[in-house]
Amino acid sequence: MASKQHTSVPRNPGQGRANVSDVELVWEGKAAPSKRRPRPLALVETIRAKGEGRATGEGGAESEGEAPGVPDGWTNKLIHGDNATALASLAPTYRGEVGLIYADPPFATGGEFRLRRPDGSKAGETAYSDAWGPGLASYLQMLYERLALMRELLAERGTLYLHVDWRAGHYARVMLDELFGRPAFRNTIVWHYGGRGAKAIAGQFPRNHDMLLVYAKSPGAAFNRLRQVRRVPVEEAPRRGYRRDADGRWFKTAPRGDYTDASIRRLEQEGRIYRTRTGRERVKYFLPVEGGHVLDEKLLGDVWDDIGDMMHAPAAERTGFPTQKPEALLARIIEASSKPGDLVADFFCGSGTTAAVAERLGRRWIACDSSLAAIDIARRRLTSMPRHGPFDLLSATAGAG
């Protein structure tokens, strides 16, 4: 977003980062991320661990054991308050310690979001406001300052996932190039959540996806390859290119690639060679069948079209928070970019999905939101889990300078 009149900003204000970018996003009033003074986070309440299977302490007494991989003595953190204040307050202790940050900021809609009742209708209570003053500049400055603070907390092997949509995603990509350096970019993941029954709008295709901008702090950032299972109804399988042999086994084929002639002969003896009408040899890969579906496993790519939005989530998972994200989405992110025991953070935590999934997957977590309604929902959600570790409910002091 270029402007002829803007505040002069020092090039590359993110100090100490590697692979400094040669691009910069400019907006009116742009200022280098402010240096906020850390302030203590006030302890409101400590919620004790809950659940069966606790570890046994000295003398055989039952103690509040942690999830596998979580070190003894660790207490998770749910913070109410401005996330910039919270980030600055956490930095002295957790700078370079966070393995994964998922950031799902407001999307610059200019609207106000209200909680929803179980029937889907809007309740009277406001969840949060997505209004940032006239134009886009104030929104970009807000995001810029917080992303710079998040980068400080990331470990060298840490990864940031920034969840955006069509409104500001292209600006955020350039902003992250500036803060992290262009080589830090890993993926733009398209989360195609399917149609929401939106009315057709003249002159454009329906908008039915969000983006996850993935940036790694260093080339050695943690990453676990994931595989995706596609379930194809048996009656549709032939139209999707799947075949069935004389023994009733479903299979797909691939070009022979680098297989030698000797390998092809061996595969043919195993019944794994398929010849096309033109005589070309293709390798068979047999697929399991479950519940009337052919299961085809493949390496997960950067288009995620198998996770629906909250309209398709189980009723028990819905909290009423208007922009809640499905647990399956966060589980995939956490499994891809962390391991048990790692510290996962979400500073726009909303209904607490990241914290709940991190808890279930044996990760440590820090979650923060400025909305009291969001914190109340997240707290109830966490304490209703069959098992959870201890966590502190904290308050961030407003107005840190």
**In the prediction, which pLDDT does 9 show?**
43
Any domain includes 36: no
| Same domain for 154 and 212 | yes
Residues 271 and 141 placed together within one structural domain of the fold: no
Structure tokens at 195: 């149609």
User: CB of 114 within 8 A of CB of 64?
Assistant: no
Please give the angle made by the CA atoms of 277, 280 and 283, to the nearest 5 degrees.
110
- Supply the pLDDT for residue 123: 62
Burial environment of residue 389 by CB neighbours within 10 A (0 to 12, 13 to 18, 19 or more): buried
Q: Is residue 24 part of a domain?
A: no
Q: What is the pLDDT of residue 67?
A: 56
* pLDDT at position 115: 81
116 lies in the same domain as 216:
yes
pLDDT (tens digit, 9 = 90+) per residue, 18-49?
A: 445 578 899 999 999 888 889 999 999 999 99
pLDDT tens per residue across span 199-239: 567 788 888 999 999 999 999 999 999 999 989 999 999 99
Q: Residue 279 and residue 276: Cα distance in Å, rounded?
A: 5
Number of domains in the chain: 2
From 298, 324, 342, give the residue that closes a domain. 298
Torsion angle of the four alpha carbons 139, 145, 146, 149, in this order, in degrees rounded to the nearest 10:
170
Instruction: Please give the residue range of the domain that contains residue 359.
Output: 42-195+208-226+300-395
Query: Strand pairing of 98-103 and 343-346?
Result: parallel
Residue 9 lies in a domain: no
Which among 263, 298, 333 is the end of a domain? 298
- The residue out of 298, 316, 341 marking a domain boundary is 298
The CATH number given to whatever domain includes residue 103 is 3.40.50.150
Token readout for 310 is 């909250």
- 362 and 338 within one domain: yes
Whether residue 349 lies inside any domain: the answer is: yes
Query: CA-CA-CA-CA torsion for 293, 296, 301, 304, nearest 10 degrees?
Result: 0
pLDDT at 41: 96
> Which helix (H) or strand (E) element contains residue 401?
none
Q: Which regions of the chain are under pLDDT 50?
A: 1-19, 53-66, 399-401
What torsion, rounded to 10 degrees, do the Cα atoms 214, 215, 216, 219 define?
100
pLDDT for position 51: 85
Identify whether 219 is part of a domain: yes
Strand partners, 253: 284
Q: Are residues 152 and 279 in the same domain?
A: no
How far, in Å, CA of 340 to CA of 54, rounded?
17
Question: Does residue 311 share a domain with residue 237?
Answer: no
Q: Based on the domain organization, do 77 and 184 belong to the same domain?
A: yes
- Selection from 306, 343, 313, 346 nearest residue 327 by Cα: 313
First to last CA, the chain: 27
- Indicate whether 250 belongs to any domain: yes
Q: Same structural domain for residues 109 and 190?
A: yes
My answer on whether 333 and 212 are in the same domain is: yes
Distance between CA atoms of 10 and 286, rounded to whole angstroms? 59
Does residue 358 share a domain with residue 293?
Answer: no
Please work out, in degrees rounded to the nearest 5, the angle formed at the alpha carbon of residue 337 by the alpha carbons of 336 and 340. Answer: 95
Q: CA 118, CA 320: separation in Å to the nearest integer?
A: 7
Does the predicted model carry a pTM greater than 0.85?
Answer: no
- Is residue 61 in some structural domain? yes
Q: Do residues 177 and 307 share a domain? A: yes
- Residue 65 is predicted with a pLDDT of 43
Token output for 316: 């028990």
pLDDT value of position 326: 96
Q: Are residues 272 and 330 in the same domain?
A: no
Residue 1 is assigned to a structural domain of this protein: no
